[in-house]
């Protein structure tokens, strides 16, 4: 499955970068976050997927503690940049369409600030395990490394890190995305009603509705398995969990690199 993700995610995300850079009309401030999303997905491909394929051939993670930290960090970083890029994308669309701030004009500076924010928040998740708050360990089938959310190893404070992750890096992003796209949908419906439901506004309303449903649904499909599994294991320490049970949530999260573009 990791090999399948490599041969599909790399060309799709690379083409996203290439086409946007090559065509001047696409190099707009609003598209900066889409480029950032493609870069994040490529981080996951090269920092996580390729390593997992190689270690799977050996049946276990062969790169030792340092390699586990690096693989876990880059895979987590890519996934978190992707997650927060979806949040920033939702906020940008809300600001531009709903105009909650009068006379606001979205500029390149705002776009760069949005991209920088995604990297800051991603590192706020990926870096702590390198510094002693939780840790990276081989997970699932023992061929890739991830955050330790299923042991209570002394000295790592895994419990507090799981709570932090669940609140800051799952619940809050979901609430922001839902709020922004919910308001965006209401604004489009109001505009359609004001224009007496012309064919153009009806089509725009349908497209926006479909976009909102897909964005929220894809976020949930990607992250609910990971978040719910981590929370369940956290609340049921000592129970027996098989390697397949531990691996499936990671596959859902890593699949985001395929459908994000």
Percent of the chain with pLDDT over 90: 23
Closest CA to 173 of 110, 84, 111: 84
Percent of the chain with pLDDT over 70: 92
Banded pLDDT at 196 (limits 50, 70, 90)? low
Cα Rg of the chain (Å, integer)? 20
Taking a C-beta distance cutoff of 8 angstroms, is the pair 71, 54 a contact?
no
3-state secondary structure 168-200: HHHHHHHHHHHHHHHHHHHHHHHHHHHCCCCHH
- CATH at residue 51: 1.20.1070.10
How far, in whole angstroms, is CA 186 from its chain's centroid? 25
Q: What is the pLDDT of residue 200?
A: 67
The SS3 assignment for 139 reads: strand
Taking a C-beta distance cutoff of 8 angstroms, is the pair 174, 205 a contact?
no
pLDDT digits (tens, 9 = 90+) for 149-178: 877 778 888 889 988 998 999 999 999 999
Closest CA to 143 of 232, 82, 75, 223: 75
Q: Is 159 annotated as a binding residue?
A: yes
pLDDT digits (tens, 9 = 90+) for 16-43: 888 888 887 888 888 898 899 899 988 8
Whole-model pTM: value is 0.87
Token duo for residue 1: 């499955």
Cβ neighbours around 98 below 10 Å, total: 15
Q: In Å, what is the CA distance from 87 to each residue of 114, 170, 243?
A: 10, 11, 31
**Count of structural domains within the chain:** 1
pLDDT digits (tens, 9 = 90+) for 75-126: 899 889 989 998 998 898 888 888 887 777 888 999 999 999 999 999 999 9
Domain housing 25: 2-259
pLDDT digits (tens, 9 = 90+) for 199-251: 666 676 677 777 777 777 887 888 888 888 877 877 777 666 777 777 777 77
């Amino acid at each position: 499955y990791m090999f399948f993700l490599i041969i599909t995610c790399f060309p799709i995300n690379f083409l996203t970068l290439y086409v946007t850079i090559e065509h001047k009309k696409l190099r707009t401030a609003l598209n900066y976050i889409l480029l950032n999303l493609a870069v994040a997905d490529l981080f996951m491909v090269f920092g996580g997927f390729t390593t997992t394929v190689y270690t799977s051939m050996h049946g276990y993670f062969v790169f030792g503690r340092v390699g586990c930290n690096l693989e876990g960090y880059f895979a987590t970083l890519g996934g978190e940049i992707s997650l927060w890029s979806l949040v920033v994308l939702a906020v940008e669309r809300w600001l531009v369409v709903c105009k909650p701030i009068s006379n606001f004009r979205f500029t390149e500076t705002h776009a760069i600030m949005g991209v920088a924010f995604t990297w800051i928040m991603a590192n706020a998740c990926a870096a702590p395990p390198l510094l002693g708050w939780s840790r990276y360990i081989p997970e699932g089938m023992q061929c890739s490394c991830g955050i330790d959310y299923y042991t209570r190893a002394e000295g790592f404070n895994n419990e507090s890190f799981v709570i932090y992750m669940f609140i800051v890096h799952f619940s809050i992003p979901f609430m922001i995305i839902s709020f922004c796209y919910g308001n965006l949908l209401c604004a489009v419906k109001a505009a359609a009603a004001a224009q007496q439901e012309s064919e153009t506004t009806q089509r725009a309303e349908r497209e926006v509705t479909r976009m909102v449903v897909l964005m929220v649904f894809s976020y949930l499909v990607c992250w609910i398995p990971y978040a719910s599994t981590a929370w369940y294991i956290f609340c049921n320490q000592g129970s027996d969990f098989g390697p397949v049970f531990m691996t499936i949530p990671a596959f859902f999260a890593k699949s985001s690199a395929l459908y994000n573009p």
